[in-house]
Amino acid sequence: MKRIPSLVLSATFVSLMASTAMASDYPTQAITVIVPYGAGGGGDTVARIVSDKLSDELGVTINVVNRPGAGGEIGISEMAAADADGYTLGVFGYPDNFVIESTREVDFNSDEDLVFLAQFDNMPMGIFAKPNAAYTNLDELQAYASENPGALIIGESGALGLLSALALADNLDVTLTDVRYGGGGDLLNALLGEHIDLASTSSMSHDPIVDAGGAPIAFAASERMEMFSDVPTLRELGHDQVMEVGRVIVAPAGVPDEVLERLTDALDAISTDEEMIATFANASLPYAYLGHEAVNEKIEASNAAFGAVIEAHADKF
């Protein structure tokens, strides 16, 4: 049984009536963008910035609807189940969908139910040390952790935080004790209060941690970040660990070709908008646009990498 909230329901009802109009006229009415997280977070911010521009480009209103719950599962399930007419889209942080469907029984299957239209930003996960730690770079950390197996406590929040922490321990060949936190704020509090030794969290936490005396050890990024060019990547330190959250925009699978084309063209068109790029920079969101084809290539490759880590630690999920 699927419970479809009335907002989506009414949107689909209206769109059913409108679908008698030609798909080539698309769009003729307001579009709903589902965000599977609460208001105010990174994913929500990206959705709102993009919707604003996309709405100008397409000439219709775009309503952002937050549907948080169960780590994104609720909202993503709804995107997958929505009518494929182009009037319901979704924005979320990849690989939340992949981690959820590989670790639980869920009502959606990204490969079959979703079309990835584009990626807007790409935020790597980072490893940070608490203030006054005896280790402030990866070598020192590895040495300390090898001498004291299991003694170092790494806090993490969110699916990707855990994956990144597990992969780090594997790559360094050390034992860390992972402790889960409900949100990035709680995690930061624990690290800055020195209740835990390390934190596995996104690069967005860089400034508050460094300001309070903590140290960034490395980012699990494919290349150095422009904003924090002094922080090394795990890759250049010899560990092939790339863990990035890419905010993607998706449509339910089966949208008509004309609609898909109109959407991807519009997204490509706004992708070079300087005002929008500046807004991303202001919000400390690392802008990294990938169009329809590029984002699908990336996801295929990343799914394989994440899948391997999840499989190696099946007991943790």
Partner 1 sequence: MEFLAFLPNLFALDVLGAVFVGVLIGILVGAVPGLNGAVGISLLLPLTFALPPEVGLLLLGGIYMGCMYGGSITAILINVPGDVVAAPAAMEGFPLTQQGRSKEALYYSIFSSMIGGVVGIMVLILFTPPLARFALQFGPAEMFFVAMSGLIIVGALSGSLWKAAFAVAFGLWLSTIGLDQISGADRFTFGERDLRSGISVVPVVLGLFCIAEMIGNIGKRASDLVQYTDQQITRREVLGEMTRHKTLLAKGSLIGTFIGLLPGVGTTLAVFMSYAEARRTSKNPEKFENGSVEGIMGAESANNATVGSSLVPLLALGVPGSPTTAIIAGALVVHGIILGPSLFVNRPDVAFVFLYGMLLTVVAMGLIGAFGIKYFAYILKIRMDFIIPTILVLALFGAYSLRNSLFDVMIAIGMGILGAIFKRVGVPPAPVVIGLVLGPMIETNLSRSIRISEARGMSLPEYMLSSSLGIGLLIGVLVLMGIVVQMRRRMAVVEEQVQASREGADR
- Which positions lie near partner 1, rule CB under 8 A? 3-7, 38-41, 44-45, 48, 64-71, 73-74, 77, 103-107, 150-153, 177, 179-180, 182-183, 185-186, 188-190, 192-193, 195-196, 204, 207-208, 211-212, 279, 281-284, 316-317
CB 30 to partner 1: min, Å:
15
CB 25 to partner 1: min, Å:
28
Place of tokens 């995107």: 79
Q: How many CB atoms lie within 10 A of CB 194?
A: 13
CB 193 to partner 1: min, Å:
4
Q: Which is nearer to partner 1, 143 or 227 (CB)?
A: 227
CA atoms within 13 A on the CB side of 230: 6
Q: Which is nearer to partner 1, 192 or 234 (CB)?
A: 192
Q: Which is nearer to partner 1, 44 or 85 (CB)?
A: 44
State how far the alpha carbon of 12 is from the alpha carbons of 30, 79, 98, in Å: 11, 12, 26
CB 198 to partner 1: min, Å:
11
Q: Which is nearer to partner 1, 152 or 260 (CB)?
A: 152
Pair of tokens at residue 243: 């863990």
Q: Which is nearer to partner 1, 193 or 254 (CB)?
A: 193
CB 207 to partner 1: min, Å:
5
H helix runs in the chain, sequence order: 6-18, 42-58, 73-81, 96-103, 110-113, 138-147, 158-172, 184-192, 206-211, 257-270, 274-282, 292-312
Q: Which is nearer to partner 1, 185 or 254 (CB)?
A: 185
Q: Which is nearer to partner 1, 116 or 280 (CB)?
A: 280
Pair of tokens at residue 273: 């908008």
Nearest-angstrom CA–CA distance, 71 and 64: 18
- The size of the chain, in residues, is 317
Q: Which is nearer to partner 1, 39 or 308 (CB)?
A: 39
Nearest-angstrom CA–CA distance, 291 and 317: 32
Pair of tokens at residue 55: 């709405």
CB 47 to partner 1: min, Å:
11
CB 63 to partner 1: min, Å:
11
- Residue 119: helix, strand or coil by DSSP? strand
Nearest-angstrom CA–CA distance, 189 and 170: 26
What does the radius of gyration of the chain's CA atoms come to, in whole angstroms?
Answer: 20
CB 294 to partner 1: min, Å:
26
Considering Cα of 216, then 316, then 222, then 287, what sign does the dihedral take? Answer: negative
Pair of tokens at residue 54: 């996309």
Q: Which is nearer to partner 1, 64 or 237 (CB)?
A: 64
CB 158 to partner 1: min, Å:
11
Nearest-angstrom CA–CA distance, 85 and 252: 8
Nearest-angstrom CA–CA distance, 209 and 198: 11
Whether the Cβ atoms of residue 178 and residue 317 lie closer than 8 Å to each other: no
